[in-house]
Amino acid sequence: MAVTLAALVARFGGEMLGDGAIAISQVAPLNQAKADEIGFVSQSKYLAQLSSTRAGAVILPLDARDATELPRILTPNPYLYFARVSALLNPPPRPPAGVHPAATVAEDAVIGADASVASGAVVGPGAVIGERTVVGANCVIGDHARIGADCLLHANVTVYHRCEIGDRAILHSGCVIGSDGFGFAPDEGRWEKIPQIGRVLIGDDVEVGACTTIDRGALEDTTIEEGVKLDNLIQIAHNVQIGAHTAIAACTGIAGSAKIGRHCMIGGAAMIFGHIEIADGTRISTNTLITKSLPQAGTYTSALPFSEHEVWQRNAVHMRNLDKLVNRVKQLEKRLNELEGKS
């Protein structure tokens, strides 16, 4: 499809400068864009690329109105504007509505109007698939699971029994919703499994990345509130609660019963202990280990920069002796205070 700049401004707002009849068929980086494509600049350091770009139009911040003579749209948030234009020009593929003959759907399952169930998918007894939802090839929807309207389940998604997913969710290939939490009782050197009888409840507008796993609760439910965005390869353990509009990057692990607030941002490969609480609006840097509750919002970082192996070994020796060093400093300070008191 193609859309004019005037139509974009009518749809998304912003201030247009130049020829509004220019038609745009795709978004592209400034250094690769062609005459029928639109680029964007969100940081001033990239403004220099405007002199050489072949883009037909650009999206710029408000203070860059005179940075080029190209047709342009001015907006307070060029990155967000670009995202909306890209979504308009690149709608997800929509398979035909209906149940594929090679799908297996229980007789009492409910399939909403205009929903699509692809080849190899299995929909269990009592399951509900909402209107216009797409269930990709080889997905498994467990008994009495509920999927909302306008959802997109890519191929090979598994939703276990009784789990519930809200409207407009996107579940990427290989993600598993509702697998058993890691619960075992010790018994004289052996482990006895604890039944995981809770569910996973996922709110509206949630996106779950490829091969991310969300465990069902042991007794209570694991809860992912509305608007949460989860990257690939994340492990969320049983009874975890994640507040609305929190975003978590890949390879993060969250232990059982952790409570993460709303509007948090958690970097890749972070590790979060169980049974702790993290305040709304908290930011956690990549590779950070969180071992206790964070009652106040802020940015928390624990990752050490890499170094040559021999240097790291020498520093590691000092780190093991930090407690002794602190005690020695305290003793020296105490002695110094005593000497100053006598003088």
Indicate if 225 and 322 belong to the same structural domain. no
Over residues 140-169, the mean pLDDT reads 98
How far is it between the farthest Cα atoms of the chain?
95
Q: Can you give the pLDDT at residue 93?
A: 83
Q: How many domains does the chain have?
A: 3
pLDDT (tens digit per residue) in 27-62:
999 999 999 999 999 999 999 999 999 999 999 999
Catalytic residue among 238, 263, 275, 318: 238
Q: Are strands 152-153 and 170-171 parallel, antiparallel or unpaired?
A: parallel
pLDDT-derived band at 135 (thresholds 50, 70, 90) equals very high
* Strand, coil or helix: 118: coil
Over residues 10-25, the mean pLDDT reads 97
**Residue 265 C-alpha from the chain's centroid:** 9
Q: What is the mean pLDDT of the chain?
A: 96
Indicate if 233 and 272 belong to the same structural domain. yes
Indicate if 53 and 141 belong to the same structural domain. no
Measured on CA atoms in the order 106, 107, 108, 109, is the torsion positive or negative? positive
Q: Can you give the pLDDT at residue 341?
A: 81
Asked if 312 and 329 count as a contact pair (C-beta separation under 8 A), the reply is no
Q: Can you give the pLDDT at residue 309?
A: 94
Asked if 179 and 216 count as a contact pair (C-beta separation under 8 A), the reply is yes
Indicate if 45 and 119 belong to the same structural domain. no
Indicate if 110 and 161 belong to the same structural domain. yes
Given a cut of 90, is residue 317 above it in pLDDT? Answer: no
* Strand, coil or helix: 76: coil
Q: Can you give the pLDDT at residue 17?
A: 98
pLDDT (tens digit per residue) in 209-223:
999 999 999 999 999
Indicate if 287 and 165 belong to the same structural domain. yes
Given a cut of 80, is residue 343 above it in pLDDT? Answer: no
Q: Can you give the pLDDT at residue 128?
A: 98
Q: Report which of residues 198 and 317 the model is more confident about.
A: 198
Distances (CA, A) of 337 to 48, 77, 324: 60, 57, 20
Report the CATH number that the domain containing residue 67 is assigned in CATH: 3.40.1390.10
Q: Can you give the pLDDT at residue 286?
A: 96
245 flagged as catalytic:
no
Q: Can you give the pLDDT at residue 339?
A: 86
Which of 58, 89, 120 is the endpoint of a domain? 89
Q: Can you give the pLDDT at residue 342?
A: 77
Measured CA to CA, the distance from residue 34 to residue 29 in angstroms comes to: 9
Q: Which domain holds residue 69?
A: 3-89
Given a cut of 90, is residue 274 above it in pLDDT? Answer: yes
Indicate if 241 and 334 belong to the same structural domain. no
Indicate if 327 and 240 belong to the same structural domain. no
Q: Can you give the pLDDT at residue 38?
A: 98
Indicate if 140 and 175 belong to the same structural domain. yes
Given a cut of 90, is residue 338 above it in pLDDT? Answer: no
Given a cut of 90, is residue 231 above it in pLDDT? Answer: yes
121 Cβ contact partners less than 8 Å away, ≥ 6 residues apart: 100, 103, 104, 105, 135, 136, 137, 138, 139, 140, 141
Q: Can you give the pLDDT at residue 340?
A: 83
Indicate if 7 and 53 belong to the same structural domain. yes
Q: Can you give the pLDDT at residue 170?
A: 98
For the chain, percent of residues with pLDDT exceeding 90: 92
Indicate if 286 and 332 belong to the same structural domain. no
Which of 35, 61, 89 is the endpoint of a domain? 89
Indicate if 280 and 315 belong to the same structural domain. no
Report the CATH number that the domain containing residue 232 is assigned in CATH: 2.160.10.10
Asked if 175 and 193 count as a contact pair (C-beta separation under 8 A), the reply is no
